[in-house]
Amino acid sequence: MAREVAALSRQERLMRSLSRGPVNVAIIAICLLWMLPSAGLLVSSFRPRNDIATTGWWTAFKTPFEFTLANYEQVLTTQGMAQSFVNSLIISVPVTVFVVMVAAFAAYAFAWMELPGRDAIFLVVVGLIVVPIQLTLIPVLRMFSSAGMTGTFPAIWLAHTAYGLPFAVFLLRNFFIALPKDLLESAFLEGASHTRVFLRIVMPLSVPSLAALAIFQFLWVWNDLLVALVYLGGFRSVAPMTVTVSNLVSSFGSEWHLLTAAAFISMMLPLAVFFALQRYFVEGILAGAVKG
């Protein structure tokens, strides 16, 4: 009797997973659909120029296999992608450090210090998060021009740092304010100064949040096109990869062996960061879902 019942419930379970069938099919289909565009790009970037121009990338899996690294070699050397990769790093890394530092100080003040009009000012910061940077391009470009800074890294560092701040301050302030109050107050009671509490308690406790912000900020700057286009003035020597790729599109719109390889090079680091640090990335997204 007991065995019979067990068998029945196993059957029930089977029925249930079968009724999930359509769900599985739908999800797997959508996932494949979602991967298809990137897969095409990746496969094509390794195909010889003539093959890309005349046949679809899905035919690459028919024998004889013909794959090559020539496209990568070409974009890295003759199209300046190697230089651009370095430029992207020179732009993104310092900006990330600046944003996290400046924002952490400000966020601590907004969370734990007494500042006249603190909450009202913070609302302005929340509002600034969504202000389109288009609103700043002309005056800032003019400032840089008159200071002779267009086309220089310091110009784009400054601009990007400022653009990243509202979201960064918002995110960190919300993380900081959620720290246990008792912990900070007992430190103050023992006579610790703000600077000490900030550096010795708040920052170490917030490493995951700081990491989330840093990843976010890094990807944001790494992936930016507009700011670089406007303030770097199209100088090839300072152009990050987004600018170079976009230039390749306008000059060699159908040279797909170049475009696919270049685009993939520009995606490699973000993808690596994403897969290695997905948890922080998602955390940042959830914590700052207001960022536009």
Binding residues among 259-288 for another protein as defined by CB under 8 A? 259-260, 262-264, 266-267, 270-271, 273-275, 278, 281-282, 285-286
Please tell me whether residue 194 binds another protein under the rule CB under 8 A: yes
> Minimum distance between the CB of residue 98 and another protein, rounded to whole angstroms?
9
d(Cα 104, Cα 87) in Å, to the nearest integer?
A: 26
User: What CA–CA distances, in Å, run from 287 to 170, 184, 212, 278, 281?
Assistant: 10, 22, 9, 14, 10
Find the binding residues for another protein in span 81-120 (CB under 8 A): 102-103, 105-106, 108-110, 112-116
Which residue in the set 64, 135, 190, 207 belongs to the binding site for another protein (CB under 8 A)?
Answer: 135
d(Cα 128, Cα 165) in Å, to the nearest integer?
A: 9
Packing angle of the helix pair 21-45, 2-19 (nearest 10 deg): 50
Q: Which stretch binds another protein (CB under 8 A): 66-74, 145-153, 205-213, 240-248?
A: 240-248
Find the binding residues for another protein in span 199-228 (CB under 8 A): 219, 222-226
Torsion of CA 254, 259, 260, 265, to 10 degrees: 180
The neighbour count for residue 184, using CB atoms within 10 Å, is 20
> Minimum distance between the CB of residue 78 and another protein, rounded to whole angstroms?
18
Identify which of residues 209 and 224 has a Cβ nearer to another protein in the complex.
224
The separation between the first and the last C-alpha atoms of the chain, rounded to the nearest angstrom, is: 62
Identify which of residues 19 and 78 has a Cβ nearer to another protein in the complex.
19
Residue span 46-85 as binding mask against another protein, x where in contact by CB under 8 A, dash where not: ------xxxxxxx---------------------------
> Minimum distance between the CB of residue 37 and another protein, rounded to whole angstroms?
5
d(Cα 276, Cα 230) in Å, to the nearest integer?
A: 32
Q: Which stretch binds another protein (CB under 8 A): 66-74, 78-86, 126-134, 203-211?
A: 126-134
Total residues interacting with another protein, rule: CB under 8 A: 112
> Minimum distance between the CB of residue 102 and another protein, rounded to whole angstroms?
5
> Minimum distance between the CB of residue 289 and another protein, rounded to whole angstroms?
5
Q: Which stretch binds another protein (CB under 8 A): 60-68, 76-84, 204-212, 245-253?
A: 245-253
- Could you give the residue ranges of the DSSP H alpha helices within the chain? 2-19, 21-45, 49-54, 70-77, 81-112, 118-128, 134-146, 153-177, 181-189, 194-197, 203-205, 207-222, 226-231, 241-251, 256-276, 278-287
Q: Which residue has the tokens 């040279």?
A: 255
